[in-house]
A and B are shown apart, each in its own frame.
Chain A
Amino acid sequence: MQTVAGIIVLASLYVLLGVGYVLIYRASRVLNLAQGDLMMFGGYALFAAATSVAAAPLVAIPLALAVSGMAGFLIYILLMSRMAGHPVFAAVLVTVSLGILLRVGVVLLFTDQLRYPLQVMALTNPPLHLGRGVTVSMIDALSVTAAVVVMAALVLFLRGSTLGIQMRAAGERPLLAAQRGINFQLLFALSWALASLTGGVAGVLYASNVRLDPSLGVFGLKAFAVALVGGLDSLGGLVPAAILVAAVEVLTIRFGNPLLAEVSPFLCLLAMLLVRPWGFAGTREELERV
Chain B
Amino acid sequence: MAYGSGAFRTTYERDMALVDSRPRWIALALFLVLLLLLPAVASRFTLELMSQVALAAVGALGLHLLTGMAGQVSLGHAGFLAAGAFTVGILVEAIKAPPWLTLPAAALVGALLGLAVGIPSLRLRGLYLALGTLAMHYVVVWIGSEYQARYGFHTGVMVPTFELGPLFIRSAVHWYYALLALALAATCVSVNLTRSRVGRAWMAVRDREVAAASLGIAVARYKLLAFVASSVMTSLAGAVWAYYRSFVSVEAFSFTLTIEYIAMVVIGGLGSVLGALIGAAFVILLPYLIDSVVAALQVGEVQYYLFPLKFGAFGLLMALFLLFEPLGLVGIWQRVRNWVLLWPLRYIPLRASR
Contact = CB atoms under 8 A, between A and B. Distances in A.
A104 B135 contact: no
Contact of B124 (A92, A96, A100, A287): A287
B142 A290 contact: no
Nearest to B135: A266
Contacts of B130: 89, 92
A93 B255 CA distance: 13
Given A82-B323, A287-B125, A224 B131 contact: yes
A263 B316 contact: no
A2 B107 CA distance: 47
Contacts of A262: 138, 142
B319 A225 contact: no
A100 B135 contact: no
Contacts of A29: 127
Contacts of B304: 111
B276 interface: no
Nearest to B73: A89
Nearest to B125: A290
Contacts of A89: 73, 126-127, 130
B349 interface: no
Contact of A273 (B124, B142, B311): B124
A98 B125 contact: no
A82 B316 CA distance: 15
Tell me what chain A mostly uses at the interface: helix, strand, loop, or mixed.
Answer: helix
B142 A260 contact: yes
Given A93-B262, A260-B142, A287 B128 contact: yes
A119 interface: no
Contact of A100 (B127, B128, B314): B314
Interface residues of A, number: 41
Contacts of A242: none
Contacts of B318: 93, 96-97, 100
Interface string B105-119: 000000000000000
A263 B319 contact: no
A94 interface: yes
Contacts of A105: 312
Nearest to A93: B322
Tell me what chain B mostly uses at the interface: helix, strand, loop, or mixed.
Answer: helix
A259 B149 contact: yes
Contact of A101 (B126, B142, B145, B319): B319
Interface residues of B, number: 39
Interface in A54-90: 79, 82-83, 86, 88-90
B160 interface: no
Contacts of B132: 269-270, 273
A277 interface: yes
B120 A269 contact: no
A108 B313 CA distance: 13
Nearest to B266: A93
Interface in B288-327: 304-305, 308-309, 311-312, 314-316, 318-319, 322-323, 326
A31 B312 CA distance: 21
Nearest to B150: A259
A270 B319 contact: no
A111 B308 CA distance: 10
B323 A108 contact: no
A107 interface: yes
A107 B308 contact: yes
B139 A270 contact: yes
Contacts of A290: 125-128
A221 interface: yes
A108 B73 contact: no
A277 B308 CA distance: 37
Contacts of B255: 221
A57 to B, nearest CB: 30
B346 interface: no
Interface in B38-58: none
A269 B139 CA distance: 11
A267 interface: yes
The residue among A82, A93, A274 with the most chain B CB atoms within 10 A of its own CB is: A93
**Closest 10 interchain pairs by CB?**
A100-B315, A104-B312, A97-B319, A266-B135, A290-B126, A263-B142, A107-B308, A266-B138, A97-B315, A104-B308
25 contacts: A86-B322, A89-B127, A90-B322, A93-B318, A94-B319, A97-B315, A97-B319, A101-B315, A104-B308, A104-B311, A108-B308, A108-B309, A111-B304, A221-B255, A225-B135, A228-B128, A228-B131, A259-B142, A266-B139, A269-B131, A269-B132, A269-B135, A273-B132, A274-B120, A287-B128
Given A98-B315, A277-B124, A287-B124, 10 more contacts: A31-B127, A93-B262, A96-B315, A96-B318, A97-B319, A100-B259, A101-B312, A108-B309, A266-B138, A269-B132
Interface of B: 73, 120, 123-128, 130-132, 134-136, 138-139, 141-142, 145-146, 149, 255, 259, 262, 266, 304-305, 308-309, 311-312, 314-316, 318-319, 322-323, 326
